[in-house]
Amino acid sequence: MSVENQFKPKIVAFCCNWCSYAGADLAGSSRLTYPADVKIIRVPCSCRVNPMFILRAFEKGADGVIICGCHPGDCHYSTGNYYARRRMTLLFSMLDYIGIENGRTRVEWVSAAEGVKFSQTMNEFVDKIRSLGENVRLGDLRCKK
Amino acid sequence: MQRVGVFVCHCGSNIAATVDVKRVVEAISNEPGVVHAEDYQYMCSEAGQALIAKAIKEKALTGIVVCSCSPRMHEATFRKAAERAGLNPYMVEIANIREHCSWIHKDIVEATEKAVILARAAIAKVNLNTPLKPGESRVTKRALVIGGGIAGIQTALDIADAGYEVDIVEKTPSIGGRMSQLDKTFPTLDCSACILTPKMVEAAAHEKINIYTYSEVDKVSGFVGDFTVDIRKKARSVDMDKCTGCGVCQEKCPSKKAPSEFNRGLGTRSAIYTPFAQAIPNVPVIDRENCIKFKTGKCGICAKVCQAGAIDYEQKDEIITEKYGAIVVATGFDTIKLDNYDEYAYSQSKDVITSLELERVMNAAGTTKGHLERLSDGKAPKDIVFIQCVGSRCADDRGKSYCSKICCMYTAKHAMLIRDKYPDVNVTVFYIDVRTPGKNFDEFYRRAVEQYGVNYIKGQVGKVIPQPDGSLLVQGVDLLDNKQILKQADMVVLATAIEPDPDVRKIATMLTASIDTNNFLTEAHAKLRPVESPTAGIFLSGVCQGPKDIPETVAQAGAAAVKAIGLLAKDKLLTNPCTAKADELLCNGCSACANVCPYGAISYEVKEVNDHGIREQRRVAVVNSALCQGCGACTVTCPSGAMDLQGFSNLQIISEVDAICQ
Amino acid sequence: MQEIISRAKELLENGTVARVLGWKIGDLPYNPEPAYFETAKDLENFVYNGFCGANLSKYMIEASKLEGKTMICLKPCDSYSFNQLIKEHRVDRDKAYIVGVGCKGKLDIEKIKKAGIKGIESISGIEMTDAADTLEIKTIYGDKTMSYADAMLERCHVCKGKDHVIYDELIGESKDTKDAERFAEIEKIEAMSPEEKFEFFKAELSKCIRCNACRNVCPACSCRKCVFDSNKFDSAQKANVDSFEEKMFHIIRAFHVAGRCTDCGECSRVCPQGIPLHLFNRKFIKDINELYGEYQAGADAESKGPLTDFTFDDAEPSVVAERG
Amino acid sequence: MKYSYYPGCTLRTKAKDLDDYARASAKALGFELEEIENWQCCGGVYPLGSDEIATKLSSVRALNEAKEKGQPLVTLCSACHHVIKRVNDDMKNVEDIRTRANNYMQLSEPYMGETEVLHFLEVLRDKVGFDKLKEKVVNPLTGVKIGAYYGCLLLRPGKLLQFDNPENPTIIEDFIRAIGAEPVVYPYRNECCGGYISLKEKDMAKNMCDKIMDSAKGFGADMLITACPLCLYNLNNSTTDKLPVYYFTELLAEALGVKEEGKDQ
Amino acid sequence: MSSEKNCAQQIKEISGADPLKCMKCGKCSASCPSFNEMDIKPHQFVSYVANGDIEALVNSKSLYKCLSCFACLERCPRDVKPAKLIDAARQLVVRQRGKDYLTADEIPELLDEGLPQQLLVSAFRRYRR
């Protein structure tokens, strides 16, 4: 298969500033590669991620969305990720319920020290999205260029 | 729409090697709002910053995007540069094209494409930025040091010497920590007590230092400059004001079978005890689990013999609430449990001991009064084998992945001291590598080999085999000779891995300080901010941050103190302006946001609002920006979108999403 | 009904309340509508029968701002919505005089029509006092009958119970009409393959005309300004040009009321396109019950809602994929 | 309680005692060993190669049969236990092996490692309980000093077999205590007897068994007990002044007073 | 040479072990009960595979001295699994035609009175395809 023809998914990763964004930095400074399909958006905390952002990403053509935060119990703001955990569980369950492949969304807790985990997670996630193919069900053809 | 300037950094070849920097500049030049774009070798350098300042002024920029390393690295640098050029510092956005791009991608086309997208997202965001102004918060001029070992003591002394109040919280009955258990210290073989005890006394006597021993941190709230901490003073059952430290109670106590923590369980102590003779404070504690009075209600001998009337069986835990501007964590370490290493027969033979236990054997105040003897039969050993790296450098979950760092040196010390005092004892060390990075360290190790005749064998031990006659057979390998060795020994000493004190995870959670999978506290930057936690106002001292020896610990303790002093010296702190803000016209007053706020920063007021001509009294949310830390939990809870986060607004994040998914 | 009217007159007369919030006769025999009554004369048009499905609690938001107390008629299930609104500080308990009215299940005209009964002139058997289990329907095509239960709204088949959770006084008897499993429909969908699920919802949601009736009637959707009308998310109402719009709207709407929705079923009742909108809300309720423990919004006015609460060992989001 | 039971080849032939005494003891202890039908030899050694599937199938068959009966699968011979437990672990946790083995097997429902594999000793410890066993003992072996010989197959790899602490096991010592005797702990009890090497390299095996015997004797053991026919064979071939070696089930049957019944079978 | 590389790769695949994880501590060799009988010692085995020096390995008598007692695997601090590497090398040999280490003809003279079946089947499995 030629590189040009390979499906290049669009993947949005929301990373909390304190743990996961730092974990991604560590993955970077440790040169732990993962595909360029992943683009990171920095948010202060996983609890800042509004379901609207996730749906918006899908609307605009994202093929996968991953939210990374501090491990439960280690949130910089003490409790933010606990709220995020409930919100995302319910949202993902709803997306699954309406027939969206549940592999397109993921939450992973990655600490600032887990560069390896960050890179592994992203590699896995990209593999998963590649296997799922383009996001047709939630995509909005109108918005895709 | 802003007038945006974009500055793309080469970072030498760090970025430029995998990202076509010129191409990035070209690709984003026509993005909405962009009126200036350029690249430079090192944007963070003085010259680079000057370029930015010049462009801000000449092009009347209202917002800038720097495509460079992580914002965690240089966001502050570029914000300051912008501010000096007259731009609000919060009109700066960073596109992380190094850690998140050039360093992890190999294909230049792919990496360049990604860099362009990241830059576009930052440009989209900065177009929606608004100037923000930090507020101010006060600084409580008092520091808390958690842990009273050498790290905590040194930090406390340095902070106190600068004129600030310091409280030390130590969970055991005395300060002193692990260092007080050591006999001699490398690489100069000073007596540990001789150099530690004066520091303990100095700390206790310092008018600015207040020591809470037998106490634990129960609860922490607040934030940098203004922490509120609950300290639990566990019931000592002895009145500290009345006790004269005469020691009669300990002598007369009939319950003398409790294992001595200080002697690593090799000896026993009484139920009412001070851990060691030089304990500070010299006030005993009743260990209620072993006290006959507490177990059966009968006894009370200590109360009878106490002339000062200091024994108080009714004493309860006491909670002290205090405010602090800075908190230093100095919780130290312990050796790992050896349950997973039964091949070394630690649990099967009394003559297999850890190095820390050997310290107590060698120490004149220890269980054997400093005589080197086998713990099984009290006989003098003739052959001692040291095994290195027990539980360190492990890839499986039996041990620790890291090098414990201090073992090579203390083993050389032990070997040398034994050979010095008992020249007829043969000492063999099984090692994988001898690691001696430190001043005079390798020389020290070489002395052990060359002057003291310690037999170093490169190779590990597979099994320690207890023999019917009470001796030990050590089955190891000599890798240089390619031979399996069966070595007769009377004593085996295990260089047991060290791990952070198990309580540190609980403390890190209370402090919201980040911690790694090995339970070491994470530093704000591995190289440039090694004594600070990423959580503002929390500093790291000693082994809680990573394995280190005494000189390194003392150095880091001083560094942590300086960082804390730097904070305490300020009268006011600028607060993070990226706080939540409620749009009162949209607010339903439903309290959902207040329910999730971890800081209690949201309150409700009944206000008259003018909603497009309709004037009415409404219950609306009001954010106290001094308390708000900007997590954003409230913004997602709010169904109407009335609550938004400045600097990370809904529209800003959506604009980034759009730019990425375009 | 007469008892309610007499009591309302009394309360108006003795000045306890300034107005009455109830239902008035509509232009057809089956479409009474919510109304304020300020005088005894107004009350001549008051009606309370099997077609008074409308949940009045949301009207209390505006009524709370008016001078004086309002007598509000709440059916057992409506009282949950009211309680929830108290919890959210949206209504003023002190401004309401709650008359808990009896209910023996409310009727769905769409079901009657679906049964092929057209040209309706009058329906008997709908009064609260009627013991009849059968509706007798006069139509221009002759007399028809239908069992009361067959004509009931979906929500009444999964009735929360005949007790009011908040009231000042009760008038009339209620009946627990539950004869179906609340989550049976949800489970049926959950058991579908992703493709089937997607096709099912695509078919349902493609009917949406974004009339906002669901939003306007929903007691939990009480925002002063909906996010879909504001500029806070770049989501201001747009024309229905693509299928994603409805998905986004209905998912977010359901998410915004998750943990707050009492499952009153008004959304499905008012949808002119007949979209079973309660399937979204009830899915969240089912998940919440299963993952975080049984929770009924509006059962009380104090407890923390499931989305503003957590436990340290909540399920991870991966549970969604794991349960398949 | 009924357990599915996998005796293995040697228990049908040279090690019939091991089997007979186990059945008699089980009866005395109130549980039944129900021999699965059509079992095939486990192969004696676990096929280590991750690409070896066919050699794992006989274990899968036995496991699946127990699964269909809804019973745990009990083994007695250390080697069978080692092989079956590890194959079960593969079927549970190694996707590749699971898929390929199931492709071969063509079962009505794929086998996913559902069966609980128990060694007879584990049944005594975890299901019967050594305290209960002690109560049932009628002829306590008071005063007998017994060295437990574990060998390697029961214990290692510790993480997979989850049998006992691989470097300092206690299960047989606890068993010895339960039947009224005195356990002798000696450091070579988990060293290999030489295993299959004794077929072609007899001296190597002898050498190893000598060390084991010497160590046990040095610590004062009167006899050794084992669960493995091959260990027994190798130990009996050691050259030094040997201690008697017994199957643990023989002493169990004796303590329970059912030794004669075991012999009659 | 390239075929040796191939073999090394095959050994890694069959064994599922990664010789690069080795830190050369020697604990495998320190634990091995067959150490003295081996020409290539367990720790060397790991290096040989890592270096792709397969020729020496497949000709080594160590292949038939390893007891698969897993002492090395149990104690290895780096999870290298030397026993599996050795078995994989042995597989590489015995899977070739005519490379069985034990043939049926040899059996009768090896038998004795008490020899259990288990010994024969185990040896067969280890020594031949």
pLDDT digits (tens, 9 = 90+) for B263-303: 999 999 999 999 999 999 999 999 999 999 999 999 999 99
pTM of the predicted structure, to 2 decimals = 0.81
Greatest CA separation found in chain B?
99
Coil, helix or strand at residue B642: coil
Highest mean pLDDT among B193-207, B524-538, B616-630: B193-207
User: B327 with B297, same domain?
Assistant: no
In-domain check, residue B430? yes
Spans of chain D below 50 pLDDT: none
List pLDDT tens digits, range B472-505: 999 999 999 999 999 999 999 999 999 999 999 9
Interface residues on E facing B, Cβ-Cβ cutoff 8 A: 21, 23-32, 35-36, 41, 43-44, 71, 75-79
In-domain check, residue B146? yes
Kindly state the DSSP code that residue B379 receives in the 8-state scheme: P
- Which residues of chain A lie closer than 8 angstroms to C295, CB-CB? none
E77 interfaces chain D, CB cutoff of 8 Å: no
Taking a contact as any Cβ pair under 8 Å apart, which residues of chain D between 199 and 258 contact chain B? Answer: 215, 218-220
pLDDT at A14 over 90: yes
Q: Does domain E2-96 have CATH number 1.10.1060.10?
A: yes
Q: How confident is the model at residue C242 (pLDDT cuts 50, 70, 90)?
A: low
pLDDT at site E104: 86
Average pLDDT over residues B224-245: 96
Which of B389, B395, B484 is facing E30, going by the closest CB pair?
A: B484
Q: How confident is the model at residue A144 (pLDDT cuts 50, 70, 90)?
A: very low
- Which residues of chain E lie closer than 8 angstroms to B432, CB-CB? 23-26
pLDDT at site D111: 96
Q: How confident is the model at residue B612 (pLDDT cuts 50, 70, 90)?
A: confident
Average pLDDT over residues B214-223: 94
Bridge partners (DSSP) listed for residue C143: C138
pLDDT at site C237: 54
Q: Residue A76 belongs to a domain with what CATH number?
A: 3.40.50
Q: What is the domain partition of chain C in residue ranges?
A: 2-106+160-171, 184-322
Which value does ipTM take for this structure? 0.75
In-domain check, residue A144? no
- Which residues of chain E lie closer than 8 angstroms to B479, CB-CB? 24, 26, 29, 43
- Which residues of chain B lie closer than 8 angstroms to A45, CB-CB? 631-633
- Rounded alpha-carbon distances, angstroms, from residue B585 to B616, B619, B624: 11, 10, 18
- Rounded alpha-carbon distances, angstroms, from residue B625 to A50, B603, D147: 22, 11, 73
Among D156, D165, D168, which would you mutate to test the B interface (most chain B Cβ atoms within 10 Å of its Cβ)?
D168
pLDDT at site D242: 85
Q: How confident is the model at residue E39 (pLDDT cuts 50, 70, 90)?
A: very high
Residue scoring higher pLDDT (C323 or A33): A33
User: B114 with B187, same domain?
Assistant: no
User: B426 with B469, same domain?
Assistant: yes
Q: How confident is the model at residue C236 (pLDDT cuts 50, 70, 90)?
A: low
**Residue contact B479–E31, C-beta within 8 A:** no
- Which residues of chain E lie closer than 8 angstroms to B393, CB-CB? 23, 77-78
pLDDT at E28 over 70: yes
Q: What is the domain partition of chain D in residue ranges?
A: 2-120, 129-264
pLDDT at site A145: 42
Q: How confident is the model at residue E1 (pLDDT cuts 50, 70, 90)?
A: very low
% residues pLDDT > 70 (chain B): 100
What's the number of domains chain A is made of?
1
**Which residues fall within 8 angstroms of residue E110, CB to CB, at 6 or more apart?**
D199, D200
- Rounded alpha-carbon distances, angstroms, from residue C231 to B192, B611, B650, C214: 68, 16, 10, 21
Bridge partners (DSSP) listed for residue B484: B477
**Residue contact E118–D230, C-beta within 8 A:** yes
Which of E27, E30, E79 is facing B396, going by the closest CB pair?
A: E79
Residue scoring higher pLDDT (E96 or B35): B35
pLDDT at site A139: 63
List pLDDT tens digits, range C299-322: 998 889 999 999 989 999 999 988
**Could you please report the per-residue DSSP string of B248-265?**
HHHHH-S---EEPTTTTT
Q: In 3D, which of B157, B156, B143, B148 has the Cα closest to residue B224?
A: B143
pLDDT at C245 over 70: no
Angle at the Cα of D47 (from D46 to D50), degrees rounded to 5? 130
A88 interfaces chain C, CB cutoff of 8 Å: yes
**Residue contact D165–B342, C-beta within 8 A:** yes
pLDDT at site B436: 96
Sign of CA dihedral D118, D119, D122, D128: positive
In-domain check, residue A100? yes
What average pLDDT is seen over chain B? 95
CA gyration radius for chain E?
A: 15
pLDDT at C265 over 50: yes
Q: How confident is the model at residue A2 (pLDDT cuts 50, 70, 90)?
A: very low
Between CA B70 and CA B48 the distance in angstroms is 16
**Residue contact B641–C232, C-beta within 8 A:** yes
Architecture of the D129-264 domain: 3-Layer(aba) Sandwich (3.40)
B394 interfaces chain C, CB cutoff of 8 Å: no
Counting DSSP H helices and E strands in chain A, the numbers are 4, 4
User: B483 with B344, same domain?
Assistant: yes
pLDDT at site C68: 94
pLDDT at site C131: 65
- Rounded alpha-carbon distances, angstroms, from residue B579 to B29, B326, B622, B624, B644: 32, 22, 12, 9, 8
% residues pLDDT > 90 (chain A): 76
pLDDT at site C7: 94
List pLDDT tens digits, range E49-101: 999 999 999 999 999 999 999 999 999 999 999 999 999 999 999 888 888 88
Average pLDDT over residues B612-623: 91
pLDDT at B101 over 70: yes
Average pLDDT over residues B92-100: 97
Between CA B19 and CA B10 the distance in angstroms is 8
pLDDT at site B479: 97
Q: How confident is the model at residue C125 (pLDDT cuts 50, 70, 90)?
A: confident
Q: How confident is the model at residue B332 (pLDDT cuts 50, 70, 90)?
A: very high
List pLDDT tens digits, range B375-399: 999 999 999 999 999 999 999 889 9
pLDDT at site D264: 65
Coil, helix or strand at residue B637: helix
List pLDDT tens digits, range D198-251: 999 999 999 999 999 999 999 999 999 999 999 999 999 988 778 999 999 999
Look up the domain containing A38 and give its range: 11-137
pLDDT at site A4: 52
In-domain check, residue A4? no
Look up the domain containing B430 and give its range: 335-499
Q: What is the domain partition of chain E in residue ranges?
A: 2-96
Which of B343, B399, B477 is facing E29, going by the closest CB pair?
A: B477
Q: Does domain D2-120 have CATH number 1.20.1050.140?
A: yes
pLDDT at site A1: 40
Which of E69, E110, E119 is facing D192, going by the closest CB pair?
A: E69
User: B343 with B492, same domain?
Assistant: yes
